[in-house]
Amino acid sequence: MKFPSEPFKIKVVEPIRRTTREERDRLLRHAGYNLFQVPADSVYVDLLTDSGTSAMSDNQWAGMMLGDESYAGSKNYYHFEEVVRSIFGFQHVIPTHQGRMAEHLLFSTVVKPGMCVPNNIHFDTTRANVEHQGAEALDVVIEEAYDPHCQLPFKGNMDLARLEDAINRIGRDRIPLVMITITNNSGGGQPVSMANIRETRALVSRYGIPLFFDACRFAENCFFIKERELGYAEKSIVDIVRELFGYGDGCTMSAKKDGLVNIGGFLSLNDDQWAQDITNLLILVEGFPTYGGLAGRDLEAMARGLREVLDEDYLSFRIGQVRYLGELLDQAGVPILKPIGGHAVYLNAKEFLPHIQQAQFPAQSLAVALYREYGIRGVEIGTVMFGKKDAATGRTIYPELEMVRLAIPRRVYTNMQITYVAESIIELYRRRQGIHGLALTYEAPMLRHFTARFEELLGIPLLPQAVS
């Protein structure tokens, strides 16, 4: 079945408040045209992120009632530890309140100024955590990843030739680890093939460099391997997961994605000394090693979610729902990044708004228009998030891709709501000439997209009012 139906029943519902275009326009002006600053209760369909926005199962909620809130040695930790070891296979399991802290603990421990961390493409917080240590976050994804029209099945793959060249150019001693992000979020939610992971492992092993995974969407990546890669169609998701992580030395994990929880993450690895050093830092900034900034009930929900995400019926629906939105848009001629990724559909803002130059933030402008007209909140993945200033010239270095990510929360929205999103975007595309660009009025020195403020260029957009 091309678009499988939901493999679950709805047990609890949350009302959604509808707003008018006038309300949303006022909220945007107050927020400085930054959708991170818009109150969530004023959003009709919220596709800002798939992080921490999942609906938990009745089994997870039942586990929440079994929370052991002991400071040290909670039974929930031992259950969580057993689940992580059985799925990922690494010796040490270090809980954190979310993936960002797992990144911080890892890079604060093993990355020093002047070092370099290669990745297929770093996501925003990963890059920031590397650069915060005075190191270089180097992207070495295949060139096809930057072509929004290229239909390669594994566009998240590492460019092995470029990776080896980087190792030889930079020097093995300045590369504490290599990381692969699965799926590759900044590159459009694109998966990485098992063959590429296997070959990356062989390459870094020749130089004695550890291989880590950013594993927050590991199950979705493994589903794509089963679906697209020769020799894996008959293998279970569990077996694919175990093989994949068997090529690594550790991983960071935001369980707020493929852990199906609203808070939580972990760092898991094999190196005893690294684990000890990381644990010492954990105690300083997160808490005791058996709770890592989480309540016992959160650990239990996370353990159960990591099991649930491996269900193939769930994954088939999950990937199918994202594909459903993407195909509706593609069939209507709306420019999107192809192939459709695992957790989100990415609008190609350069082609959607060719009349807005990159210096005027077309992706941010598109995201603003989508919220103002239809109450749908996406997120900019483009110049605001990844634009840089050249240190010598002060000129902006623009990213190759300029996108609006529509990240679909897991087990939250029905396909009727997804249809509404598609119809809204299609209508907006027909009226796109009335969308104006933005000017940046405030930016923070790091991770500016969270708090940046803008003003509209040329006044109020010329779009006629849409039906709310």
> 296 is in which domain, residue-wise?
58-308
C-alpha to C-alpha distance for 107 and 101, rounded to whole angstroms = 10
**β-bridge mates for residue 184, sequence order:** 190
Task: Kindly state whether residue 12 falls inside one of the protein's structural domains.
Answer: no
Shared domain for 348 and 218, answered yes or no, is no
Question: Are 195 and 262 part of one and the same domain?
Answer: yes
Asked if residue 407 and residue 299 are part of one domain, the reply reads: no
pLDDT at 103: 95
Q: Which residues contact residue 364 at a Cβ distance below 8 angstroms, ignoring those fewer than 6 apart?
A: 33, 380, 382, 383, 384, 438, 454
Is 264:256 a contact under the CB 8 Å cutoff? yes
pLDDT (tens place) for every residue of the chain, 468 residues total: 778 888 999 999 999 999 999 999 999 999 999 999 999 999 999 999 999 999 999 999 999 999 999 999 999 999 999 999 999 999 999 999 999 999 999 999 999 999 999 999 998 789 989 999 999 999 999 999 999 999 999 999 999 999 999 999 999 999 999 999 998 887 888 999 999 999 999 999 999 999 999 999 999 999 999 999 999 999 999 999 999 999 999 999 999 999 999 999 999 999 999 999 999 999 999 999 999 999 999 999 999 999 999 999 999 999 999 999 999 999 999 999 999 999 999 999 999 999 999 999 999 999 999 999 999 999 999 888 888 777 778 788 888 889 999 999 999 999 999 999 999 999 999 999 999 999 989 888 877 888 899 999 975 444 554 443
Distance of CA 455 to the CA centre of its chain: 27
DSSP string, 312-345: HHHHHHHHHHHHHHHHHHHHTT--B-SS--SSEE
Does some domain include residue 5?
no
Whether the Cβ atoms of residue 163 and residue 151 lie closer than 8 Å to each other: no
Residue 70 and residue 43 share a domain: no
* Contact between residue 196 and residue 232 where contact means Cβ atoms under 8 Å apart: no
User: Which of 403, 396, 413 is closest to 50 using CA atoms?
Assistant: 413
Give pLDDT, residue 396.
82
Query: Within this chain, do residues 347 and 249 fall inside the same structural domain, yes or no?
Result: no
The verdict on residue 16 lying in a domain is: no
Domain membership of residue 11 (yes or no) is no
Label the pairing between strands 403-407 and 396-397.
unpaired
Domain boundary residue, one of 308, 328, 354: 308
Tell whether 3 is covered by a domain: no
Place of tokens 């040695």: 73
Which CATH number do you get for residue 196? Answer: 3.40.640.10
- The residue out of 260, 277, 308 marking a domain boundary is 308
Query: Do 255 and 350 sit in the same domain of this protein?
Result: no
Residues 42 and 147 in one domain: no
Number of Cβ within a 10 Å radius of residue 105: 26
Tokens 């909140």 correspond to what residue?
A: 377
Same domain flag for 326 and 378? yes
The CB density around residue 64, as the number of other CB atoms within 10 Å, is 17
- Residue 340 is predicted with a pLDDT of 94
Q: Within this chain, do residues 303 and 320 fall inside the same structural domain, yes or no?
A: no
Q: Which of 308, 334, 362 is the last residue of a domain?
A: 308
Whole-prediction pTM? 0.92
Claim to verify: residue 181 and residue 206 sit in the same structural domain: yes
Residue 56 burial (CB count, 10 A): 20
> End-to-end alpha-carbon separation of the chain, Å?
33
The answer to whether the beta carbons of residues 439 and 455 sit under 8 Å apart is yes
What is the number of domains present in the chain?
2
Number of Cβ within a 10 Å radius of residue 139: 21
Same-domain pairing of 245 and 387: no
In terms of DSSP H, where are the helices of 171-249? 194-206, 218-228, 237-246
- Does the residue 149 lie in any domain? yes
Give DSSP secondary structure letters for 76-136: HHHHHHHHHHHHH--SEEEEESSHHHHHHHHHHHH--TT-EEEESS--HHHHHHHHHTT-E
Closest CA to 87 of 274, 271, 240: 240
Same-domain status, 26 and 65:
no
Please tell me whether residue 265 adopts helix, strand or coil conformation: strand
Q: What's 412's domain CATH number?
A: 3.90.1150.10
The pLDDT of residue 357 is 93
User: Does the residue 378 lie in any domain?
Assistant: yes
Is the CB of residue 122 less than 8 Å from the CB of residue 141? no
What is the predicted pLDDT for the residue at 459?
55
